[in-house]
Amino acid sequence: MSRPGFVLEVDDRTPPLIVHNGEGFLLERFPLGTRVVYPPEALPPVRDVDEAIDSALRNPVESEPLPELLRAGMRLTIAFDDISIPLPPMKKPDIRQRIIEAVLTMAADAGVDDVELISANALHRRLTPNELRDIVGERVFRSFFPDGKLYNFDAEDAANLTHLGQTKHGEDVEISKRAAESDLLVYVNVNLVAMDGGHKSTSIGLASYKSLKHHHNSHTMIHSRSFMDHKKSELHHSAWRMGAILTQHVKVFQIETTLNNDIFGGPLQFLQKREWEWSIKDQASMLGAKRGLSAAPDKLRHRIFTDVRANYGLTGVTAGAIEPVHERTVAMVHKQQLVEVQGQADVGILGVPYLGPYNVNSVMNPILAACAGLGYYFNSYRGQPIVRKDGAMILYHPVPYQFSQLHHPSYVDFFEEVLAESTDPATIEQKFEKQYAEDPWYIHLYRTSYAYHGVHPFYMWYWISHALDHCGDIVWVGAERKTVERMGFRSASTLSDALEMVSHSVGRSPSITYLHNPPHLIADVR
């Protein structure tokens, strides 16, 4: 029986607590009275994954069983979530591989010849063949990739996009032509956090810039409170409207999966244990890892973290019509991640780890660090943010000035050119977005190399617009001063300094809440 999440109140008996800090971690002593939100322990995984998948496909929610939807001569498209989830990537076999293999087995039995598999990466970077193979498995890769039937979605390939119409709000719905013209679109999702899945899968994953710009903008993001709660997220409302149009034209069979919180195994297992329960072995592992990482050269340290693969047990798989499936999925995600927190604090503290959705097999640049902390973790709430309006956020990350020219070329220019001009999301959007979105060089790199789309750094900045609007002060502990200053934040050497810096707005003895994640959690702030 796994224990639910809970809120610890730091007292004199509390040992130093782990704080994620980029490619490393710290032991931090928090002021007495600090509330620390711990995620629930990993739920027990389903015993027989293959049987669970088979059962979901044959007994879908508000849909005919999958075998009945498959027939010879049909056009079948299987879309799947890209490498941005789960985080960290899961140990092989990936759950998507197991589901796709089950779907293809049924398709083969039904005599379906015309099958294509699309990585639903929207404006994310293309996946390398190896990355595709890691997700779909060797058997699927060998069967489809050489023939060009397993590929990345290209949002700039105008010839292969179909405009399905507009919502009543005037939002364009433009998605992959192959998906739009298929007799059946099977979407294979991994619902790592509550934000994923539902209509966000197809309506966003297979959509073009023309369609995405309607919800990926500063106005929508600032009114998504939060986008971990799809019922209160403008972003999701827009995706749901688009989904309604999409499902009028395309028959979608949605398969959603949920994972437990079993992320760190082996020598890093201490990272998901509660500190005061650490055994001698855990303490030794922590000391060894901490000292080892501090002695390791940057490249080796980066390699060590990049190679982390999460255990992740499957907690549920549901298939059928998008909306009822997603309701069940969200309920399961909440069961794993929801923690009740009473009231907001003056100061919120987050440790930003080495990985976000957009730097898998890459480096976390300053904009992605801001997005991981102020976009994803800040928004990991239901009800209201953990910090009161005009309160302060304190984040841990070194925020080094490092960019991947391969994966994030437009980020470099965004950082140097756009942020130097303004850090206000609305201003940036108005002045610069179009230019970056239509830049032919960025488009070329997006289509032919492994670069994120030119407009992607803007989206990252919109992602944090709610936090920028809500927080009075944002201070990074141990961060490179120049990089955080460029982003409009401040840097402190220690937590005490950071609290000192924000004391003008929150006082000398503020209430503090620290979100102890990952593993993932959603603070249900009452």
By CB under 8 A, name the binding residues for other proteins.
6-11, 13-16, 27, 29, 274-276, 278, 283, 286-287, 290-291, 294-295
Whether the Cβ atoms of residue 347 and residue 511 lie closer than 8 Å to each other: yes
Distance of closest approach, residue 30 Cβ to other proteins, in angstroms: 11
Nearer to other proteins, 17 or 76 (CB): 17
Distance of closest approach, residue 8 Cβ to other proteins, in angstroms: 5
Cα dihedral 190, 370, 468, 32, rounded to 10, equals 90
The Cα–Cα gap between 476 and 490 comes to 6
Distance of closest approach, residue 425 Cβ to other proteins, in angstroms: 38
The Cα–Cα gap between 165 and 397 comes to 43
Whether the Cβ atoms of residue 492 and residue 476 lie closer than 8 Å to each other: yes
User: CA-CA distances (angstroms) from residue 82 to 190, 458, 466, 509?
Assistant: 9, 20, 26, 44
Distance of closest approach, residue 206 Cβ to other proteins, in angstroms: 46
Share in percent of the chain as helix, strand, coil (round to 5): 40, 20, 35
Nearer to other proteins, 9 or 64 (CB): 9
Show Cβ contacts of residue 430 under 8 Å, excluding neighbours closer than 6 positions: none
Q: Please give the structure tokens belonging to residue 257.
A: 């999966």
349-384 burial, b for 16+ CB within 10 Å, e for fewer? bbbbbbbbbbbbbbbbbbbbbbbbbbbbbbbbbbbb
Nearer to other proteins, 147 or 277 (CB): 277
User: In 3D, which of 472, 470, 446, 471 has the Cα closest to residue 457?
Assistant: 446
Q: Please give the structure tokens belonging to residue 178.
A: 């192959």
Nearer to other proteins, 292 or 507 (CB): 292
Distance of closest approach, residue 344 Cβ to other proteins, in angstroms: 19
Neighbouring C-beta atoms of residue 170, cutoff 10 Å: 7
User: CA-CA distances (angstroms) from residue 345 to 107, 127, 381, 511, 515?
Assistant: 53, 41, 13, 5, 12
Please provide the distance, in angstroms rounded to a whole number, between the alpha carbons at the two ends of the chain. 26
Nearer to other proteins, 30 or 187 (CB): 30
Distance of closest approach, residue 11 Cβ to other proteins, in angstroms: 5
Q: Please give the structure tokens belonging to residue 274.
A: 């509660």
Please give the angle made by the CA atoms of 221, 233 and 471, to the nearest 5 degrees.
50
Nearer to other proteins, 159 or 295 (CB): 295
Distance of closest approach, residue 60 Cβ to other proteins, in angstroms: 42
Place of tokens 């409302």: 237
Whether the Cβ atoms of residue 38 and residue 516 lie closer than 8 Å to each other: yes
Nearer to other proteins, 30 or 446 (CB): 30
Reduced 3-state DSSP string for 308-364: CCECCCEEEEEEECHHHHHHHHHHHHHHHHEEEECCCEEEEEEECECCCCCCCCCCC
Distance of closest approach, residue 13 Cβ to other proteins, in angstroms: 4
Nearer to other proteins, 25 or 462 (CB): 25
φ/ψ (deg, to 5) at 492: -125, 155
Distance of closest approach, residue 262 Cβ to other proteins, in angstroms: 21
Show Cβ contacts of residue 123 under 8 Å, excluding neighbours closer than 6 positions: 155, 209, 212, 446, 452, 453, 455, 456, 459
Distance of closest approach, residue 26 Cβ to other proteins, in angstroms: 10
Nearer to other proteins, 13 or 231 (CB): 13
Distance of closest approach, residue 33 Cβ to other proteins, in angstroms: 10
Nearer to other proteins, 7 or 406 (CB): 7
Distance of closest approach, residue 495 Cβ to other proteins, in angstroms: 14
Nearer to other proteins, 30 or 378 (CB): 30
In which element (H, E) is residue 407 found? Answer: none
Nearer to other proteins, 26 or 244 (CB): 26
